[in-house]
Chains A and B, each alone.
Chain A
Amino acid sequence: MSAGAASITLERGGLARRTSDALFRRPALLLTLLLVPPLLWLGIVYLGSLFALLAQSFFSIDEFSGLINYEFTLSTYRELFRLANLDVIIRSLVMATAVTLASVVVGFPIAYFAARYARGKWKALFYLAIMLPLWSSYLVKVYSWKLILAKEGIITWIAQKLHLVWLLDAVLAIPVIGGPSLSISYLGTFLVFLYVWLPFMILPTQAALERVPGNLIEASADLGAHPGQTFRTVIFPLALPGIIAGSIFTFSLTLGDYIIPQIVGTSSYFLGQAVYTLQGTAGNIPLAAAFTVVPIVIMGLYLWIAKRMGAFDAL
């Protein structure tokens, strides 16, 4: 007995043991030690770089020499409101909105079927089919879409075989979104965006739909609701957080992408491209930084509106 107690005290004398005891007695210290590394990461690497960037946007570029003037000014933000730059912002915003709405329309039925009807092998197949595009290289996907949409590409070929060239031409004749061919039009850019970001909409929506309890739907039916009513008042509101989560992905990814509009589209710049060119070739880092603030502000507003709409209440 006494020998055992002695050995315990001996063990307690070890450094590791003492540290462990000290930490056990002061939970606050333990918490601090555990939290410091991730907080440092978040604080310095993430927020620090963000603030370094924000700070840059309050500098300006010297009109004459092209050197950066390190004095506080709002002139760079004023530059942001020049018509050409506003065009870039509005173009990106409209595209991101259109892509998000379309991915809800296309993605929801797929997610709904996968969540509520697909079973066993089919469910696995659905997951696979949705995920598969994410596994292949982003660039390969975009380049192959260029071939699909080209003037002498697959879609035109199919239209010819089906004698539907008039339809394709009519679509391409629509002002603004049309163009000489699908791959040289906003419509083409839109289709590629939609394809590339669709999985990011389907997966969260499907997860949300799977969490809708079956008994609620049955109860709704028992109380005499039409399937449509059940959908509007039970299923859709419960799936909304998933849709919002997905839309945050599709919206912000479209807003920031700078490769797709370079390969498929009319060569008009989107936000990402503008930032890339301004900070790279032009050395106009203040304006590039100001441009980068735009999606941050837009996403902030977007999340705020989503919160007001109660999208996060169900979380």
Chain B
Amino acid sequence: MNSLTRVVVSLMAATSLGGAALADMKTEIGPGEGQVDIVAWPGYIERGETDKNFDWVTDFEKATGCKVNIKTAGTSDEMVALMNEGGFDLVTASGDASLRLISGKRVQEINKDLIKSWNTIDERLQNAPWHTVDGKHYGVPYQWGANVLAYNTNVFKEAPKSWGIVFEEQNLPDGKSNKGRVQAFDGPIYIADAALYLMKTKPELGIKDPYELNEDQYKAALDLLRGQRKIVGRYWHDAFIQIDDFKNEGVVASSSWPFQVNLLQAEKQPIASTIPDEGATGWADTTMMHVDAAHPNCAYMWLEHSINPKLQGDLAAWFGSVPVVLSACKGNALLTDAGCETNGVQNFEKVAFWRTPVAKCASQPDGCVPYYRWVSDYIAVLGGR
């Protein structure tokens, strides 16, 4: 019944989609409307309710008079669905949702002149393709992170140099096989991780971008993943379950987030993380504004607030992510000066950020395999086909 209700809800959302006109871009920020409604990842907007030290909402509310209402969403799809329904001003969208929101005309262009600190944003992110389309900016970068390779330091005395240890059956440095001791991510987007590995190990395939795969490259990635299925006992989906698997299931290597690694290290577990030579996939989130935002002035004030160094540093410490404002890396008590390094700021160049694969792509003249096929094929791979 539950899944049925969900389908029906998303159907209704889909039908209400068509024909929304693009609102005109604002040219000045007026007085606040008294509130702003934000769709965010859990833990992304904290008002000190979980831990008093992590609060970047209360001061904003006092200074602007804009009350912040947060609706958390657990997946990118939930975010897209909520934005389709409307009634929200802002959303912290990941790269696999942001382009869908733009092409669905659910978010509006941002006037970056109204965001005074725009130039403090990491230059590499200012024009990132997941929020900039045809030179128009549809959001303000918020945080990013990499899908790192987490490993057990008792088994690996040195950091592994290749993702091969989780993709292909082999003996680990402790002399035992990796069968049943490695994990992989339980989401179709993980096919890109396989493609990234093949980019280095099988250059003859000619993969230029792990999110743009033609039929042959796609088939090679699936074959690699089918082999991986034989050595992976369970795929991880929930961060806390993975933490538990590292502690109680004898998992010694897996793709992971800095979030899990930080928590495991805080518990004094022998876990460390690295980015192997092949590079890594990652996520970069952008705060985007709804096309019919009811509180645009407060929304612009939040956008400006969202990139202040104090917030960026606190959030990075809380979430295990990397600030988009590099000055946040210094002098933040919660993050400490080593924090950005721990969370992987130096890895930017090695990260292939999540994007939704589409049929029409730049690097492959014959077109690419679109995302819906990634989904059905990944289900097949997990089922052992």
Please give the residue numbers on chain A whose beta carbons come within 8 Å of chain B beta carbons, in ascending order.
Answer: 49-50, 52-53, 56, 61, 64-66, 83-85, 87-88, 91, 146-147, 150-153, 179-181, 183-184, 256, 258, 262-263, 265-269, 272, 274-285, 287-289, 292
Contacting pair B237 A262 (CB below 8 A): yes
Contacting pair A284 B8 (CB below 8 A): no
Within the complex, which residue of A66, A152, A265 is in contact with B358, where a contact is CB–CB below 8 Å?
A66
> Which residue, B1, B7, B358, B382, has most C-beta atoms of chain A within 10 A?
B7
Residue in B closest to A183 when the chains form the complex, CB atoms: B249
Known: A66-B372, A151-B250, A269-B382. 7 other contacts (CB 8 A): A146-B241, A256-B2, A267-B232, A268-B383, A275-B7, A283-B372, A288-B3
Q: Does B238 contact A (CB under 8 A)?
A: yes
Q: Does B265 contact A (CB under 8 A)?
A: no
Chain B, 232-255, CB within 8 A of any chain A CB: 232-235, 237-238, 241, 244, 247-250
> Which residue, B14, B367, B372, has most C-beta atoms of chain A within 10 A?
B372
Interface size class of B (residues with CB under 8 A): 35 or more
Q: Which residues of B contact A184 (CB under 8 A)?
A: 180, 233-234, 249
Q: Does B370 contact A (CB under 8 A)?
A: yes
Question: A280–B249 Cα gap in the complex (Å)?
Answer: 30
Q: Which residues of B contact A274 (CB under 8 A)?
A: 379
Least Cβ–Cβ distance between B166 and chain A, in angstroms: 14
Q: Return the CB mask of B2-25 against A: 1 if under 8 Å, else 0.
A: 111111101100100000000000
Q: Which residues of B contact A287 (CB under 8 A)?
A: 376
Show 12 A/B contacts (Cβ-Cβ < 8 Å), sorted by A: A50-B4, A66-B370, A85-B379, A147-B248, A181-B233, A279-B3, A279-B6, A280-B6, A281-B75, A281-B375, A284-B376, A292-B3
Least Cβ–Cβ distance between B235 and chain A, in angstroms: 4
Q: Does B380 contact A (CB under 8 A)?
A: yes
Contacting pair B3 A272 (CB below 8 A): yes
Q: Which residues of A contact B65 (CB under 8 A)?
A: none
Contacting pair A282 B376 (CB below 8 A): yes
Within the complex, which residue of B11, B238, B250 is in contact with A152, where a contact is CB–CB below 8 Å?
B250
Q: Does B187 contact A (CB under 8 A)?
A: yes
Residue in A closest to B4 when the chains form the complex, CB atoms: A292
Q: Which residues of B contact A288 (CB under 8 A)?
A: 3, 7
Q: Which residues of A contact B249 (CB under 8 A)?
A: 150-152, 180-181, 183-184
Contacting pair A285 B376 (CB below 8 A): no
Q: Does B384 contact A (CB under 8 A)?
A: yes
Q: Which residues of A contact B270 (CB under 8 A)?
A: none
Contacting pair B3 A88 (CB below 8 A): no
Q: Which residues of A contact B283 (CB under 8 A)?
A: none
Q: Which residues of B contact A289 (CB under 8 A)?
A: 7
Q: Which residues of A contact B232 (CB under 8 A)?
A: 267
Please give the residue numbers on chain B whose beta carbons come within 8 Å of chain A beta carbons, in ascending order.
Answer: 1-8, 10-11, 14, 75-78, 180, 186-188, 232-235, 237-238, 241, 244, 247-250, 358-360, 367, 370-372, 374-377, 379-380, 382-385
Contacting pair B379 A277 (CB below 8 A): yes
Q: Which residues of A contact B75 (CB under 8 A)?
A: 280-281
Given contacts A150-B244, A256-B1, contact A61 B372 (CB under 8 A): yes
Given contacts A65-B370, A84-B379, contact A281 B6 (CB under 8 A): no
Least Cβ–Cβ distance between A38 and chain B, in angstroms: 19
Contacting pair B248 A150 (CB below 8 A): yes
Contacting pair A152 B371 (CB below 8 A): no
Contacting pair A64 B367 (CB below 8 A): yes
Residue in B closest to A153 when the chains form the complex, CB atoms: B248
Question: A146–B242 Cα gap in the complex (Å)?
Answer: 12
Given contacts A64-B367, A268-B384, A278-B375, contact A49 B10 (CB under 8 A): no
Contacting pair B3 A258 (CB below 8 A): yes
Contacting pair B244 A147 (CB below 8 A): yes
Q: Which residues of A contact B380 (CB under 8 A)?
A: 83-84, 87
Residue in A closest to B375 when the chains form the complex, CB atoms: A282
Q: Which residues of A contact B367 (CB under 8 A)?
A: 64
Question: A87–B233 Cα gap in the complex (Å)?
Answer: 18
Q: Which residues of B contact A272 (CB under 8 A)?
A: 2-3
Q: Which residues of A contact B241 (CB under 8 A)?
A: 146, 263
Q: Which residues of B contact A49 (CB under 8 A)?
A: 4-5, 8
> Which residue, A49, A91, A147, A272, has most C-beta atoms of chain B within 10 A?
A49
Question: A69–B352 Cα gap in the complex (Å)?
Answer: 32
